[in-house]
Every structure is written in structure tokens, then in C-alpha cells.
């Protein structure tokens, strides 16, 4: 069987497109990894080869993001949804160690995923403070109101952490800048699942960053975490129980995972290896400076094409916070099925919007080429001209 393929023009939101060269190397490594006679998915996560996969991936992340020595990198299973619960238990434990109190987390809700994260924190008994719900402020998810419209506590001494989703995959909203200077001393937690490694980030500003791999850097099944080392200091389990703080399941207890170098339980070494191959590919292309410029160009081209036909395409997101990763739009006449069929006839696939909101969504992740985006822009203009 050939490892060659025609380059797909695929805009799915996740699991998403990966570079063909990465998949070709991964296919070979699945059979025989570095000549050891076993595939990368067969070796023990605690063997020298398995440990080297984890460490190589960690080092390449440090290189790409210029992660300071103050922060640790580790990997866990479970995806972003598991992060909703593990963040709440672990960051609260960190706060309790520092203050002796349970505290109250603050959540910024700008779309479906931050809403789900806040709901999980509520379900687990953390009673989060919703400092912003953009849907309640502006009537929809499609804006990020200025901090003057946020309900920021005057006294932040009991705020255990502040959580936000940097890019809302479903709703097409992305933070254009870091707006959390009004939370001095509070640990900032960012879900970057759908824009991770799409741009440069000052990691030092964050207490914790996490990202499911299946959007921009790999396959489903592994999640990347970057956390301040100081936040890995937790109270005893007895002390947590006395403070009515739920214990983290042991496989999702951050200090345990870090102490065991991401291999406390059976981490999927092959999945981590694919992340490493993606990272190496990014480094070879010139790093995040180059990738960010490419992503900005792709997004600019597509938004310009859609904006040319306001009677045909409706873009629900305020221009200043439009996502560069997930471009969402609807057809004014409701002809979604016709649009999708015509796009698929041109081999432009993965454009159907999330089931919760409908419409269209073109995800422009790192592996989506400029050529693919130009083909999509040509189609958008032709369809627009025919239906204007």
C-alpha cells in the first residue's frame, strides 16, 4: 500500500488535518520505530525508547514556545473535557496550599467550551464566579466585551484562579490579546486547545495552559499541559478533605503525573510521538513566527472573501475578535445543504458547522495550506456571485 495521497482540502474542526509528511513518518514508525524492531505504539511507556519519546516531545515544546524554567510540561490522556475537571481540582489544591482556603475560581465565558468548563466546576462543587458571560452581556456568543463590562471582584484575595478559553472552536471567537492585567496575583488558566502553537505566546503570564492535541498538533487521545512549577505544591489529602475540596483522580493529579514524567499510567506513546513529529515539522518550517504569519494570511484571505458578499454570507462574530483558526458563517437564505454539496464537489470538505449552532465552519489550523484556503476563497466568491 502506498503512503502517498492527494493533498486534501479539509477544514474539519477536529480531529483535524495533519501534515502528510508527518503521517508518512508516523506510518513507518508504527511498524518499526528507530530500527528497534517494534512500533512506536508497542513499546513500553517506561522503557528507554518510550521515555525518550516523551522527553523529546517536551523539549521541542520548550523550544517552540520558549517556555521558561518556571514552568513544567507534561502530558495526560482525556482531552480538553478532562481538563475541565482536573484544572478545577488541581488549581484549587494549589490555592489551598498557599492560603489554607478553598477559594473561589473565576470563569470568563465567551462560548460553548468555556461555558462547559464553568458548568463542570459548578458540578464538582467549586461554585465558580462568572466574571463575564458574553451571551448575557451582548445577547450572543460572538463578542468579547471590554473588561469594563466584567464583574471583577474588588477583593481578589480569595480568587483561586481565573479560567478562559483563548479560542472558542464552536463560536469562532478568539482573544486578540491578553486582557487580564486587572487580575494581579491571580493564576491565569487558558484552554488553548484549538489555537495551540498557532501563534507566539508569553507563557510566563500564565499559571497553566492546556490543549487537546487533536486540533493543531496531533491525534485525539493526548493533552498537553504547561504549568507553573509552584502550582505543583499541594496539601495532603486529609487537608483537602477538611477543606471540602474534591480529590483529583490519581491519574489526573498533576504532581503525581509530573513526578512520574507523564508515565504514571500507560500513556499512548505513539500518540505522543505524532505530536513530536508535528513539533519537529513546525521547527523545520521556521517556528511560530513563520506559522503565525501564515495563519494570519489564511484568515485574512477567507474573511475578505466572505465579507465581499454580505447579502449571501452572515458572519456572527464581531470583527475585532474573529478567530484565525475557526471561521464561522451562515448562509443568509439558509441554503446550507446546497453550499456544502457544491463545496464537496470541489473536494472542499469538513465545512459543516458544529451541531449546536449549525451553519458553516472553516477551520484553518496549521496543517491547512495556503493553497487550500485560496481554493476555498475562489469557491466562496463564485457561490457568492451566483447567489447575490
Active-site hit among 102, 115, 215, 324: 215
76 forms beta bridges with: 223
Q: State the Cα–Cα distance between residues 178 and 341, nearest whole angstrom.
A: 39
Reading phi first (left if > 0) and then psi (alpha if -120 to 50, else beta), residue 301 is in: alpha
Active-site hit among 29, 129, 166, 191: 191
Q: State the Cα–Cα distance between residues 203 and 70, nearest whole angstrom.
A: 10
CB 178 within 8 A of CB 323: no
Active-site hit among 102, 113, 115, 150: 113
Is 191 one of the annotated active-site residues of the chain? Answer: yes
Is 336 one of the annotated active-site residues of the chain? Answer: no
Burial code of 17-52, b = ≥16 C-beta within 10 A, e = fewer?
bbbeebbebbeebeeebeeeeebbbbbebeeebbbb
Q: State the Cα–Cα distance between residues 42 and 278, nearest whole angstrom.
A: 20
Is 215 one of the annotated active-site residues of the chain? Answer: yes
Give the other-Cβ count within 10 Å of 292's Cβ: 17
What's the angle, vertex CA 269, arms to CA 93 and CA 89, rounded to 5? 10
Which residues are known catalytic residues? Answer: 113, 191, 215
Amino acid at each position: 500500500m502506498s503512503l502517498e495521497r492527494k493533498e486534501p482540502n479539509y477544514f474539519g474542526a477536529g480531529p483535524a488535518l495533519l501534515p502528510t509528511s508527518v503521517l508518512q513518518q508516523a506510518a513507518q514508525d508504527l511498524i518499526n520505530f528507530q530500527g528497534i524492531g517494534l512500533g512506536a505504539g508497542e513499546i513500553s511507556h517506561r522503557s528507554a525508547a518510550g521515555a525518550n519519546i516523551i522527553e523529546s516531545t517536551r523539549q521541542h515544546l520548550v523550544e517552540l514556545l520558549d517556555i521558561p524554567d518556571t514552568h513544567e510540561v507534561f502530558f495526560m490522556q482525556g482531552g480538553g473535557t478532562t481538563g475541565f475537571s482536573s484544572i478545577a481540582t488541581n488549581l484549587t489544591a494549589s490555592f489551598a496550599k498557599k492560603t489554607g482556603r478553598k477559594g473561589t475560581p473565576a470563569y470568563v465565558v465567551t462560548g460553548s467550551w468555556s461555558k462547559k468548563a464553568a458548568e463542570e466546576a459548578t458540578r464538582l462543587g467549586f461554585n465558580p464566579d462568572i466574571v463575564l458571560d458574553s451571551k448575557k452581556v451582548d445577547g450572543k456568543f460572538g463578542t468579547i466585551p471590554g473588561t469594563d463590562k466584567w464583574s471583577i471582584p474588588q477583593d481578589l484575595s480569595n480568587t483561586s484562579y481565573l479560567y478562559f478559553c483563548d479560542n472558542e472552536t464552536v463560536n469562532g471567537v478568539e482573544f486578540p490579546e491578553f486582557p487580564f492585567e486587572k487580575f494581579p496575583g491571580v493564576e491565569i488558566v487558558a484552554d488553548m486547545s484549538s489555537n495551540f502553537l498557532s501563534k507566539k505566546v508569553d507563557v510566563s503570564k500564565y499559571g497553566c495552559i492546556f490543549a487537546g492535541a487533536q486540533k493543531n498538533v496531533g491525534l485525539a487521545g493526548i493533552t498537553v499541559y504547561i504549568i507553573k512549577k509552584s502550582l505543583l505544591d499541594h496539601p495532603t489529602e486529609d487537608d483537602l478533605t477538611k477543606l471540602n475540596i474534591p480529590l483529583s483522580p490519581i491519574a489526573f493529579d498533576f504532581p503525581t503525573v509530573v513526578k512520574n514524567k507523564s508515565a504514571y499510567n500507560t500513556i499512548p506513546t505513539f500518540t505522543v510521538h505524532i505530536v513530536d513529529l508535528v513539533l519537529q515539522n513546525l521547527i523545520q518550517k521556521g517556528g511560530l513566527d513563520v506559522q503565525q504569519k501564515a495563519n494570519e494570511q489564511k484568515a485574512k484571505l477567507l474573511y475578505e472573501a466572505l465579507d465581499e458578499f454580505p447579502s449571501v454570507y452572515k458572519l456572527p462574530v464581531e470583527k475585532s475578535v474573529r478567530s484565525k483558526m475557526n471561521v464561522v458563517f451562515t448562509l443568509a437564505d439558509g441554503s446550507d445543504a446546497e453550499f456544502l454539496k457544491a463545496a464537496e464537489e470541489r473536494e472542499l470538505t469538513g465545512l459543516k458547522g458544529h451541531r449546536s449552532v449549525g451553519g458553516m465552519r472553516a477551520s484553518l489550523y496549521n496543517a491547512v495550506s495556503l493553497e487550500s484556503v485560496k481554493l476555498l476563497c475562489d469557491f466562496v466568491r463564485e457561490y457568492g456571485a451566483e447567489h447575490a
